[in-house]
Structure 1
Amino acid sequence: MRHLLALPLALLLPLAVQAGETAPQPVPAELEREIADADVLQPFMASYRVYRGGKHLGEATMQAVRQQGPRWRADLVMRGTRGLFGAVGINAEQSTVFDVVDGRYRPVAQATVNKSMFTRRQTVGTYDWSSREARWTGDVKNEWRAGPRELQDGDMTGLLINLAVIRDAAPGRTLRYRYVDDGRSVEHTYVVADELESIKAGELSYNAMRVERVHEDNEETIVWVVRNVPTPIRMLQRENGEDTYDLRLIEYRGVE
């Protein structure tokens, strides 16, 4: 799940994320008011179970932490509870420090660590908005991936796109963002289903919006979100029709 996983907490750097533009589509006035109320990012801590092919492999936590001024930090940490989980390289940490600018998320830095039984890959990205360039150091795949890459208004890391989807989703909407992470820049388009789906999280059931990323290859990314719930209810990635990562919410809580 490339854009969901990535950073070690010890490597946190200041980041800022700005949400991409959504396609202009009419939304009922009452829903617009709900969206406006949900636009304010709130600190939270969420716990997930991680599955692959229906098998429980481990646990994950996701959080948003308020820092000073407009600065925030978002983290996603995955840990295996079974031997297979670590052996296949699913243990991962991702952190993004970002600023909230005019209600948008703008990355300043990101760090990613992916670990398996035999390997450890670590990268750190910095987003310099004064020069409008992003660069990466560490275990980058090649010199081209190290950058610099030109930054555009609205560029976000993958972890921040997840938060932006929660903020922007409404039935029938199309959401467009530019992913700038791990030495790459890619246009991401998400389509929100017209109808809500019943989905369970822990002991609770929600009527959730299914948000599916449009791919040109054999990958699928689907996120289920609920208005006024600050974290995804479920995050699923498939490759060639098979589940690779499936994060299912157990519980969440607001934090100070």
Structure 2
Amino acid sequence: MTLPFRSLLLGLVLAGSVAPAWALEPFVASYQAYNEGKLAGSASMKVVPKAGSQWQIDLNVKGTRGFARLAGLNIEQSTVFDNVDGQFRPLSQATVRHALFMGKKMVGTYDWNARTAQWQGDIKKDRRAPLSLQPGDMSALLMNLAVIRDAAPGKHLDYRVVDNGRIREYQYVVSPEPETVTVEDLSYSALRVSRANGGNDETIFWVADGVPTPVRILQRENGQDGVDLRLVEYQGAP
């Protein structure tokens, strides 16, 4: 979660002290997927190293049978990226949306030598033209790692996302204090990271110290809860 499920992000600086430098590490995480407050499926997020400084992040969201028609709950996303000094630079991106009768696949390539990104596949014609890249640009999926890296109490976060043929600016505000997030028998003390410039279209992340992935990712529209991923398990990848 770009997803209808939007896709959908810690070196903390605490009062009087500086936390150890954040480092990207491999992990596999499992989520419960809710829609409008009802359990509707499951999701997994995985980060694994590749050759050299390259990594890959995957997000798979799968709805239960009764929610099979919801594109936001039947989607696979993947981004291959460079990780240089803690900065994420996308190299390729793919989105596959599964629908009842027809699926869609979009593939993008980020050419940092030419400073352009371009998509092909099942994408609107007006989104197929090359887009100009700037240093710091990310895919939507990489925001899940960026908020973990960047969130600190009261901090403002700004990201420029180039994804699926569009450029978008995302602004987030981190809560000044952590709050308790409970999923089944698990409880996390987590900072809320809320989008500040989405209008009626909100995305909220909760990030907990020491957890490599958001413990909850909620999308809201017109004040109503939509797709809601809640972390139930995570472990370091082998």
Q: Report the TM-score when normalising by structure 2.
A: 0.92
In 2: Cα distance, 1:149 partner to 1:194 partner: 36
- CA shift, 1:28, in A, is 3.0
Correspondent of 2:19 among 33, 40, 48: 33
Is contact 1:50-1:246 (8 Å) kept? yes
- CA shift, 1:118, in A, is 2.1
Change (3 A) 1:216 1:78: closer
- CA shift, 1:228, in A, is 1.5
Q: Do residues 151 (structure 1) and 108 (structure 2) align?
A: no
**What's the counterpart of residue 191 of structure 2?**
209
**What's the counterpart of residue 181 of structure 1?**
163
- CA shift, 1:161, in A, is 1.0
In 2: Cα distance, 1:43 partner to 1:49 partner: 20
What residue identity is the alignment partner of 2:169?
E
Q: Do residues 233 (structure 1) and 219 (structure 2) align?
A: no
**What's the counterpart of residue 50 of structure 2?**
67
**What's the counterpart of residue 118 of structure 1?**
101
**What's the counterpart of residue 190 of structure 1?**
172
Q: Do residues 253 (structure 1) and 224 (structure 2) align?
A: no
Change (3 A) 1:161 1:99: same
- CA shift, 1:254, in A, is 0.5
Q: Deviations over 1:54-112 (max 9, x none)?
A: 111101000101111101000000112232x2122220000000010121010000000
Q: Deviations over 1:193-213 (max 9, x none)?
A: 101110124422111000001
Correspondent of 1:108 among 84, 91, 103: 91
- CA shift, 1:119, in A, is 2.4
In 2: Cα distance, 1:2 partner to 1:250 partner: 24
- CA shift, 1:173, in A, is 0.2
- Unpaired segments ≥5 residues, structure 1: 7-18, 20-25
Q: Equivalent pairs: percent with the same residue? A: 51
**What's the counterpart of residue 80 of structure 2?**
97
**What's the counterpart of residue 136 of structure 1?**
119
Is contact 1:202-1:251 (8 Å) kept? no
Q: Do residues 47 (structure 1) and 30 (structure 2) align?
A: yes
In 2: Cα distance, 1:40 partner to 1:162 partner: 14
Is contact 2:79-2:94 (8 Å) kept? yes
Q: Report the TM-score when normalising by structure 1.
A: 0.86
- Aligned residues, how many? 232
- Unpaired segments ≥5 residues, structure 2: none
**What's the counterpart of residue 181 of structure 2?**
199
What residue identity is the alignment partner of 2:15?
P
Kindly report the root-mean-square deviation, in angstroms, between the aligned alpha carbons of the 2 structures.
Answer: 1.7
Q: Do residues 79 (structure 1) and 62 (structure 2) align?
A: yes
